[in-house]
Amino acid sequence: MYDKEFEIIGKKLFSEGLVTANFGNMSIREKGGFFITASGSFLDESTEPVFVSDSGIPCPGASSEYRVHLETYKRTTAGAQVHVHPPFAVAASFSFDEIVPQDTEGKMFCPLIPVVKGDAGSDELAQNVADALTRSPVVIARAHGTFAIGESLKECYILTSIVEHACKIIYYCGGFGGLKL
Amino acid sequence: MYDKEFEIIGKKLFSEGLVTANFGNMSIREKGGFFITASGSFLDESTEPVFVSDSGIPCPGASSEYRVHLETYKRTTAGAQVHVHPPFAVAASFSFDEIVPQDTEGKMFCPLIPVVKGDAGSDELAQNVADALTRSPVVIARAHGTFAIGESLKECYILTSIVEHACKIIYYCGGFGGLKL
Amino acid sequence: MYDKEFEIIGKKLFSEGLVTANFGNMSIREKGGFFITASGSFLDESTEPVFVSDSGIPCPGASSEYRVHLETYKRTTAGAQVHVHPPFAVAASFSFDEIVPQDTEGKMFCPLIPVVKGDAGSDELAQNVADALTRSPVVIARAHGTFAIGESLKECYILTSIVEHACKIIYYCGGFGGLKL
Amino acid sequence: MYDKEFEIIGKKLFSEGLVTANFGNMSIREKGGFFITASGSFLDESTEPVFVSDSGIPCPGASSEYRVHLETYKRTTAGAQVHVHPPFAVAASFSFDEIVPQDTEGKMFCPLIPVVKGDAGSDELAQNVADALTRSPVVIARAHGTFAIGESLKECYILTSIVEHACKIIYYCGGFGGLKL
C-alpha cells in the first residue's frame, strides 16, 4: 500500500534535483507505526515501503534512518516525512545555525529553518531533528540534508522545495561565505 | 476548457526550472472574466482552471493571486498571464530596481525589466505589477517572482524564459552583488 | 522530410539545457539549398523544416537566422548546422575574444573557440560566423549563442555540448571575470 | 546481453547531469573479459555493448577508453565500471590533488577521492586510474572525468553521484579557488 504515492512524490523530488541516486527516504504514519522506504531504494522508482512499529521494531529492509522518523512521529502529529539531500540546503547548512529565507515563499512557510547536528543514523541526530521539527515543519541536518513533516508526502515535498529555493536565492545573492566547521 | 493548454505550458515551465512544487499560476482571458489555475495546483499536472469574473468575484478554489491577474486584465489588453518563481530572476530582484539584459534576446524582447514591490496576494502588489505591465510585457516582483503577459500562455512562457536567461547571463558574468533589502 | 531527425536532436538540446523556449535553429544541407527549422518553432517539438535555396530565397516561415546558415553552407562543406543559446557559453563570450577549453574534450575537439560579433539576423553576423566556422567547427556569437557545423545534426549537437561543458568548467574554476562590453 | 542494464543506468547518469552528449563509457566484467559501451554511443540510448578479452583484444567498435577498464579489471575485483564527465568533479580536479568530501555521504562512502593525471586513452591514464582504484572505489582524472568501480553498474553510478554531490557542496561553500595547471 502507499507505493504509488511514494513513487509520485519520489519522481517529483528527483525532477527538481532535491535528491540523487538512491539517497533520501520517505514515510507515512499508519495505525501502530509507519511505512518507510526500503534501505537503498531509489525514491523515483516503484518500491514497496517497509513497516516500522511504534515500539521501534523495523521490518527487515527498512531505511536505516527509521530512527529519525520514529522519534519524530513520537513527538509531533506529522502524518508523513520526507528526508532528502538538496545541494543548496546542504551547502548552506555549513555556514548558518539557522537559515532565514529572504524570498516571499520562504518567509511565509518556513521563516526560520533550524540547522541541527548529528551523525547519519545516530540517536543524537534523531533527537535533534525531532526536537527541531516541533518548532519548524522543516529542518536541515548539517552536511547531510533536509527533514520535512506534514499531513502528506506532498506537503513534505513542497516544504523541501521551498527550503531549497530559499537557499538557492540566498546563494545567488552573494554566496554562503565558506565552510564553518 | 483550456486545461490542456495550461498543462502543456505548465510542463514547459517546470522542465526549464522556472517554477517548482505547487507554486506559480497562469490565466487566460475569457468573455466576462478569466480562467486561472486553482489554488495549490501543480502547474505541470492536468487540473481544471477556475473562473474569475471581471467584477472580481472568484469561483471557489481560484489562486489567491487572482487579484494581480484581475488588475492586469483591467489595465492591459493581455490575453493571458503567467506568474512563476524563476530563481535567477528572483535573486536578481534583490539587487536591482530594474534589470537591463545584456544578451541579444533580452535586449530585443524586454530591454528593461521593471522590479516592483508588494506582499504576495496584496492589493499593493496587484497595483504595482499591473502598472509595470503597461510599460513592459514582463516584470519581477521583488523576492517573489515574474509576471508576464501576452496573447497566449505560450507567449507569456517565452517572455518568462527570456527573463530568466537574461538574469542567468548577468549572474554568470559576475554575480548580482548581494542583497539590497 | 528530416522532421524526425530535427526533433530527436532538438529534444537532446533541451534536456541538456543548451536552449530554452522557442529559441535556436537547426538546418540540414540538401540538393540546391537546405532545410531549416521554422521561425518561432520549438526545437523539442515535431515541426516541418522549411526549404531555403542556395540563391538565398527562403520559403515562407524559415527562421530569420537563415542568412547565417546560407553563408556558412557557401563557405564550408558542412552537412548540418545547429544554433542555440547555452547559458555558460553566452556568459563566457562577454569576457573572452576566444575561449580556450581547459578540459580534455574541449582541448581535443575545439581547442580554440572563436567569439564573434554582429546583431542577430544581420549580414555582419552571417559573415563573421561563417568566416569563423572555416577555422573552427563551432563558434560563439557574443551575447547571443553558439553556431556549430558538422556532417549531421548529431555532430553539431555534440560540439555544442562540448563548448557548454568547457565553459562550465572554466566558470566553476573561478568565474569569467565580469562583463567586457 | 546486458544492453537493458546499460541503458537504465545510462539514463540515470544523464538525468542527473553526470554526462552529456555521447561521452562516457560503462563496462561489466564477464567470463574471459568484459562488455563495454561502443565508441561514440550515447549512454542514455539502447546500444549493444562490445566485448573485450582479458588479453586486451577489443572487438571492433569498443570505446577507446577500454584500456582503463582492462587495466582496472586486472588489478581489482570490480564487477563493473562507469566513466563519465560530471562538471563539478571535473572543475574540482583542477584545484585539488585529492578531494575530501565535507558532506555526510561523501565522508561515509569515499572520504578521500584521488585525482590522477594522464591523457584520455593513454596507457599512463590507464595505469594511474587503475592504481588509484585499488585505494578508492572512485577517482577523478584531472580535467577529464570520474572512474568508479563496483559490483554492478548501479553501484558505480551511485558512487559517481556521491562524488558530484560532494564536489557541488564544496563549490557552493566557497568555490574551488581557480585553476591549478
Is the Cβ–Cβ distance between D115 and D98 less than 8 Å? yes
Residue D90 has its nearest CB partner, among C162, C164, C169, at C169
**B152 min Cα distance to partner chain C (Å):** 14
Subunit contact D104:A23, Cβ cutoff 8 A: no
Predicted local distance difference test score (pLDDT) of residue A180: 58
pLDDT at B91 over 70: yes
Q: C102-142, pLDDT tens digit by residue?
A: 999 999 999 999 999 999 889 999 999 999 999 999 999 99
* Residue C9: closest C-alpha in chain D: D21
**D109 min Cα distance to partner chain C (Å):** 24
Subunit contact C177:B174, Cβ cutoff 8 A: yes
What are the residues of chain D with a beta carbon less than 8 Å away from any beta carbon of chain A? 12, 15-16, 102-105, 107-108, 157-158, 161-162, 164-165, 168-169, 172-174
Determine which helix (DSSP H) or strand (DSSP E) holds C158, and give its type and residue range.
Answer: helix C153-172
Predicted local distance difference test score (pLDDT) of residue D62: 95
Torsion sign (Cα): C144, B99, C181, C86: negative
Residue ranges of E strands in C41-144: 50-53, 80-84, 98-99, 113-116, 138-141
Rounded to whole angstroms, the Cα distance separating B165 from C21 reads 10
Is the Cβ–Cβ distance between C125 and C119 less than 8 Å? yes
The 10 Å CB-count burial string (b at 16+, else e) for D69-100 is bbbbbeeeebbbbbbbbbbbbbbbbbbbeebe
Subunit contact B20:A165, Cβ cutoff 8 A: yes
Subunit contact C169:D95, Cβ cutoff 8 A: no
Rounded to whole angstroms, the Cα distance separating D90 from D92 reads 5
Q: A92-138, pLDDT tens digit by residue?
A: 999 999 999 999 999 999 999 999 999 988 999 999 999 999 999 99
Rounded to whole angstroms, the Cα distance separating C10 from C24 reads 9
Which residues from B are below 8 Å from C179, CB to CB? 102, 173-174
Helical axes D3-15 vs D153-172, angle rounded to 10°? 10
Backbone φ and ψ for C79, nearest 5 degrees, come out as -95, -15
Rounded to whole angstroms, the Cα distance separating C85 from C99 reads 16
pLDDT band for D178, please (50, 70, 90 cuts). Answer: low
Rounded to whole angstroms, the Cα distance separating B92 from B159 reads 16
SS (H, E, C) A18-80: CCCCCCCEEEEEECCEEEECECCCCCCCCCCCEEEECCCCECCCECCCHHHHHHHHHHCCCCE
Judging contact as 3 or more Cβ pairs under 8 Å, the answer for B and D is no
Instruction: Calculate mean pLDDT across residues C133-155.
Output: 98
Neighbours of A72 (CB within 10 A): 25
Subunit contact C91:B169, Cβ cutoff 8 A: yes
Would you say how long chain A is, in residues?
181
Rounded to whole angstroms, the Cα distance separating D48 from D36 reads 9
Residue B85 has its nearest CB partner, among A102, A108, A165, at A165
Predicted local distance difference test score (pLDDT) of residue C120: 85
Predicted local distance difference test score (pLDDT) of residue C2: 80
Is the Cβ–Cβ distance between B81 and B148 less than 8 Å? yes
Predicted local distance difference test score (pLDDT) of residue A10: 97
CA D174-D179-D181 angle, 5° bins:
150
Subunit contact A87:D172, Cβ cutoff 8 A: yes
Is the Cβ–Cβ distance between B158 and B105 less than 8 Å? no
Cell of A60: 527487515
Judging contact as 3 or more Cβ pairs under 8 Å, the answer for D and A is yes
Backbone φ and ψ for C156, nearest 5 degrees, come out as -65, -40
Which residues from D are below 8 Å from A91, CB to CB? 168-169, 172-173
In angstroms, what CA-CA distances link D111 with D89, D103, D104, D106?
Answer: 14, 10, 9, 6
Which of A168-177, B39-48, B142-151 tops mean pLDDT? Answer: B142-151
Which residues from A are below 8 Å from D103, CB to CB? 85, 90, 143-144
Can you tell me whether residue C145 is helix, strand or coil? Answer: strand
Contacts of B173 (CB under 8 A, 6+ apart): B102, C91, C94, C95, C176, C178, C179
Subunit contact A90:D158, Cβ cutoff 8 A: no
Residue whose C-alpha cell reads 509520485 in the numeric block: A8
Strand order in the sheet with A138-141: A50-53, A33-36, A25-30, A80-84, A145-150, A138-141, A113-116, A98-99
Q: A49-108, pLDDT tens digit by residue?
A: 999 999 999 999 999 999 999 999 999 999 999 999 999 999 999 999 999 999 999 999
ipTM: 0.96
Predicted local distance difference test score (pLDDT) of residue B3: 79
Residue D158 has its nearest CB partner, among A21, A119, A171, at A21
In angstroms, what CA-CA distances link C40 with B153, C22, C24, C58?
Answer: 15, 6, 9, 15
Judging contact as 3 or more Cβ pairs under 8 Å, the answer for A and C is no
List the subunits that have 3+ CB pairs under 8 angstroms with A.
Answer: B, D
Contacts of D16 (CB under 8 A, 6+ apart): A20, A21, D161, D164
What are the residues of chain A with a beta carbon less than 8 Å away from any beta carbon of chain B? 12, 15-16, 102-105, 107-108, 157-158, 161-162, 164-165, 168-169, 172-174
Of C175, C153, C134, C179, the C-alpha closest to C25 is C153
Instruction: Calculate mean pLDDT across residues B146-151.
Output: 98
Cell of C79: 552537412
**A103 min Cα distance to partner chain B (Å):** 4
Q: D70-93, pLDDT tens digit by residue?
A: 999 999 999 999 999 999 999 999
Of D68, D80, D73, the C-alpha closest to D141 is D68
Domains of chain C with CATH codes: 3-172 (3.40.225.10)
Strand partners, D26: D82
Residue B70 buriedness (CB in 10 A; 0-12 / 13-18 / 19+): buried
Is the Cβ–Cβ distance between B180 and B94 less than 8 Å? yes
* Residue C141: closest C-alpha in chain B: B104
Cell of B78: 493581455
Which residues from B are below 8 Å from A165, CB to CB? 20, 85, 87
Residue ranges of E strands in B21-112: 25-30, 33-36, 50-53, 80-84, 98-99
Which residues from B are below 8 Å from A168, CB to CB? 87, 91
Predicted local distance difference test score (pLDDT) of residue D3: 79
Subunit contact A172:B171, Cβ cutoff 8 A: yes
SS (H, E, C) A150-170: ECCHHHHHHHHHHHHHHHHHH
**D89 min Cα distance to partner chain C (Å):** 9
Subunit contact A161:B95, Cβ cutoff 8 A: no
Subunit contact B87:A157, Cβ cutoff 8 A: no
Predicted local distance difference test score (pLDDT) of residue D179: 64
Task: Give the best residue of D11, D20, D23, D169 to mutate against chain C (max C CB count within 10 A).
Answer: D20
Contacts of B23 (CB under 8 A, 6+ apart): A105, B43, B84, B85, B145
Instruction: Calculate mean pLDDT across residues C92-103.
Output: 96
Q: Write down the mean pLDDT value for chain A.
A: 95
Residue whose C-alpha cell reads 549537437 in the numeric block: C157
Give the side-chain half-sphere CA count within 13 A for B112: 5
pTM score: 0.97
Q: What is the CA radius of gyration of chain A?
A: 15
**D76 min Cα distance to partner chain A (Å):** 24
Subunit contact B179:A158, Cβ cutoff 8 A: no
Q: B153-168, pLDDT tens digit by residue?
A: 999 999 999 999 999 9
In angstroms, what CA-CA distances link C42 with B79, B172, C6, C23, C84?
Answer: 21, 25, 11, 7, 12
